[in-house]
């Protein structure tokens, strides 16, 4: 990474962490150049970079300042859950969300978790894919090995080091997206009727897998900044025969928090004490706004009980459907579940991704996306605070590109979606993120696509519709 980006990220994280508060004067160019032993122009570049990210504001003749920020809406409340195992429902609502073809009839899908795939940093991947596609002699056209393409697994093993993991390529299995990784992990550990403890709200894909496999979800109270309540988890482990804990600790979907490392360590200790497996969804972990990226729970796992699931669907593009799993001690079972689900995973996208990673195109791409999504987050929070009624609560995502919005109890986000149909806007109703159908007063919106007038107008319509429904409700 270049010097100025390093410096910018350092300053950026200090600002985010509140070392410099809104309105504060930032260190002078000269001071920073001396402190970090870099040239004045490097510091100036770093400041311009921060300026682009909306983190620094130049004032003529007086240097750079931390921008005054508008009053932010309150955080969502710590979720309250049933804290007993429940059957999963809401398939119909999920189906509505995923039945829409991309870009169909100009529908603005604020609800769906699609990354921005328009970045120029993806061009090398497309060129490679295009070149490989022409090569008929290539094994990309036939069945691969059930474990996946070895050079790709070696690249993933390298990437995992940033998350604190030392995982050899042989302990990684390529899957058809993170979706298959999670599905195989669940089936590898649990039988129908088994209980899985989950963070709440939680990814609807996992909820629906539990439903389909006839398992029960035990939803745990979750803090919008630190994740699941370990106290509640310990109580649950005492009370119920829990088979596995499934959660998304880094850049959580839908709440965006990053679980503190201390909690991750404590979670491992609990899992070991009660001898349960942990199914860790890290699909957004690489999109944390601060460098270095957060550690995985897997990085604290010393007896192979964590099944780490991820993919390139959020970091690169979903269309390749390439994910992976580091299943620890459960590898043989996971391989079987993966085989019976889809057989081997497509080769061609694996070969293209391997070249993309080997050529070093991934790192600059991911840095760019992190910065873009962080800016978009601030813009989205700004829009929500501007266009949604007072009393609306909003998450503070520390990564990825999704925001969780909480309206007062009694609000109906499914009705909201119906009202938004004529406007060709779709949000994700909160209830699909709960096994029991809670959070109907919440919604999830994506800010992956670059903020533009069209998106702003859409958010405005959502906010105004929310206000109208609340008024009727009152």
Q: Which of residues 274-313 bind a second copy (CB under 8 A)?
A: 313
Residue 137 or residue 409: which is nearer to a second copy going by CB? 137
Residue 45 or residue 208: which is nearer to a second copy going by CB? 208
If you search the block for the tokens 């596609």, which residue do you land on? 133
The set of residues, in sequence order, having a beta carbon less than 8 Å from that of 175 and lying 6+ positions away, is 148, 181, 184, 309, 311, 322, 323, 324, 325, 338, 345
Cα–Cα distance measured from residue 449 to residue 110, given in angstroms and rounded to the nearest whole number: 10
Residue 35 or residue 332: which is nearer to a second copy going by CB? 332
Q: Point out which span in 333-341, 393-401, 420-428, 436-444 binds a second copy (CB under 8 A).
A: 333-341
Binding residue (CB under 8 A) for a second copy from 341, 391, 408, 410: 341
Residue 56 or residue 209: which is nearer to a second copy going by CB? 209
- The three-class DSSP label of residue 333 is helix
Binding residue (CB under 8 A) for a second copy from 91, 240, 274, 291: 91
**Does 80 participate in binding a second copy (rule CB under 8 A)?**
no
Residue 92 or residue 472: which is nearer to a second copy going by CB? 92
Binding residue (CB under 8 A) for a second copy from 22, 23, 168, 319: 319
Residue 19 or residue 126: which is nearer to a second copy going by CB? 126
Binding residue (CB under 8 A) for a second copy from 49, 153, 211, 293: 211
The set of residues, in sequence order, having a beta carbon less than 8 Å from that of 464 and lying 6+ positions away, is 387
Residue 11 or residue 122: which is nearer to a second copy going by CB? 122
**Does 343 participate in binding a second copy (rule CB under 8 A)?**
yes
Q: How many chain residues touch a second copy (CB under 8 A)?
A: 73
Pattern 178-207, a second copy, x by CB under 8 A: -xx--x---x---xx------------x--
The set of residues, in sequence order, having a beta carbon less than 8 Å from that of 236 and lying 6+ positions away, is 83, 197, 218, 220, 242
Instruction: Provide, rounded to whole angstroms, the least separation between the CB of residue 134 and a second copy.
Output: 5
Instruction: Provide, rounded to whole angstroms, the least separation between the CB of residue 348 and a second copy.
Output: 6
Query: Is omega for the bond preceding 262 within 30 degrees of 0, making it cis?
Result: no
On the 0-12 / 13-18 / 19+ scale of CB atoms within 10 A, 274 is: middle
**Does 23 participate in binding a second copy (rule CB under 8 A)?**
no
Strand partners, 146: none
> Do 52 and 11 contact (CB within 8 A), yes or no?
no
Cα–Cα distance measured from residue 94 to residue 346, given in angstroms and rounded to the nearest whole number: 26
From the CB of residue 118, how many other CB atoms can be counted at a distance below 10 Å?
A: 9
Which 346-375 positions form the footprint of a second copy (CB under 8 A)?
346-349
Which 121-180 positions form the footprint of a second copy (CB under 8 A)?
122-123, 126-127, 129-131, 133-137, 139-147, 149-150, 176-177, 179-180
Maximum Cα–Cα distance for the chain, whole Å?
68
Cα–Cα distance measured from residue 381 to residue 379, given in angstroms and rounded to the nearest whole number: 6
Q: How many residues does the chain have?
A: 474
C-alpha distances (whole Å) from 318 to each of 78, 321, 364 are 31, 6, 19
Instruction: Provide, rounded to whole angstroms, the least separation between the CB of residue 350 and a second copy.
Output: 10
Q: Point out which span in 40-48, 260-268, 316-324, 456-464 binds a second copy (CB under 8 A).
A: 316-324
Helix (H) or strand (E) holding 449: none
Instruction: Provide, rounded to whole angstroms, the least separation between the CB of residue 377 and a second copy.
Output: 20
**Does 327 participate in binding a second copy (rule CB under 8 A)?**
no
Binding residue (CB under 8 A) for a second copy from 54, 63, 212, 260: 212
Look up residue 66 and give its two tokens: 């931390």
**Does 82 participate in binding a second copy (rule CB under 8 A)?**
no
Instruction: Provide, rounded to whole angstroms, the least separation between the CB of residue 214 and a second copy.
Output: 7
Residue 129 or residue 237: which is nearer to a second copy going by CB? 129
Binding residue (CB under 8 A) for a second copy from 49, 321, 393, 440: 321
Instruction: Provide, rounded to whole angstroms, the least separation between the CB of residue 175 and a second copy.
Output: 8
Pattern 377-396, a second copy, x by CB under 8 A: --------------------
Closest by CA position to 411, among listed 449, 465, 340:
465
Cα–Cα distance measured from residue 160 to residue 324, given in angstroms and rounded to the nearest whole number: 11
Closest by CA position to 225, among listed 12, 75, 445:
75
> Do 244 and 190 contact (CB within 8 A), yes or no?
yes
Residue 140 or residue 430: which is nearer to a second copy going by CB? 140
Strand partners, 222: 228
């Amino acid at each position: 990474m270049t010097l100025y980006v390093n410096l910018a990220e350092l300053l950026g994280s200090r600002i985010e962490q509140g070392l410099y508060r809104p309105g504060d004067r930032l260190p002078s160019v000269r001071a920073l150049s001396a402190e970090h032993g870099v040239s004045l122009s490097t510091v100036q570049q770093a400041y311009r970079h921060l300026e682009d990210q909306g983190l620094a504001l130049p004032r003529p003749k007086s240097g750079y300042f931390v921008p005054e920020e508008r009053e932010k809406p309150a955080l969502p409340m710590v979720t309250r859950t049933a804290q007993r195992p429940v059957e999963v429902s809401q398939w119909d609502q999920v189906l509505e969300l995923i039945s829409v073809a991309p870009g169909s009839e100009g529908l603005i899908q604020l609800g769906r978790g699609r990354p921005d795939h328009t970045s120029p940093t993806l061009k090398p991947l497309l060129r490679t894919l295009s070149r490989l596609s022409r090569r008929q002699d290539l094994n990309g056209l036939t069945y691969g090995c059930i474990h996946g393409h070895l050079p790709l697994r070696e690249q993933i093993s390298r990437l995992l080091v940033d998350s604190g993991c030392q995982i050899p390529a042989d302990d990684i299995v390529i899957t058809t997206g993170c979706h298959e990784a999670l599905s195989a992990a669940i089936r590898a550990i649990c039988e129908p009727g088994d209980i899985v403890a989950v963070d709440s709200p939680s990814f609807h894909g996992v909820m629906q897998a539990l439903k389909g496999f006839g398992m029960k979800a035990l939803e745990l109270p979750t803090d919008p900044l630190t994740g699941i309540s370990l106290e509640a988890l310990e109580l649950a482990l005492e009370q119920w025969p829990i088979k596995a804990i499934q959660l998304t600790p880094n850049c959580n979907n839908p709440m965006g928090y990053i679980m503190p490392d201390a909690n991750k360590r404590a979670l491992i200790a609990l899992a070991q004490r009660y001898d349960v497996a942990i199914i860790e969804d890290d699909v957004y972990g690489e999109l944390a706004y601060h460098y270095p990226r957060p550690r995985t729970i897997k990085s604290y796992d010393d007896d192979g009980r964590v099944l780490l699931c991820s993919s390139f669907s959020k970091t690169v593009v979903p269309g390749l459907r390439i994910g992976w799993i580091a299943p620890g001690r459960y590898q043989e079972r996971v391989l079987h579940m993966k085989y019976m689900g889809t057989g081997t995973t497509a080769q061609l996208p694996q070969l293209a991704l391997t070249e993309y990673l080997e050529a070093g195109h991934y790192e600059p791409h991911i840095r760019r996306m992190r910065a873009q999504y962080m800016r978009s987050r601030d813009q989205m929070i700004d829009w929500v605070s501007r266009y949604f009624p007072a009393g609306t609560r909003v998450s503070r995502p520390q990564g990825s590109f999704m925001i969780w919005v909480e309206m007062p109890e009694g609000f109906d986000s499914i009705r909201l979606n119906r009202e938004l149909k004529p406007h060709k806007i779709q949000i994700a109703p909160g209830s699909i993120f709960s096994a029991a159908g809670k959070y109907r007063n919440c919604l999830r919106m994506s800010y992956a696509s670059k903020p533009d007038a069209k998106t702003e107008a859409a958010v405005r319509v959502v906010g105004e519709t929310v206000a109208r429904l609340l008024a009727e409700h009152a």
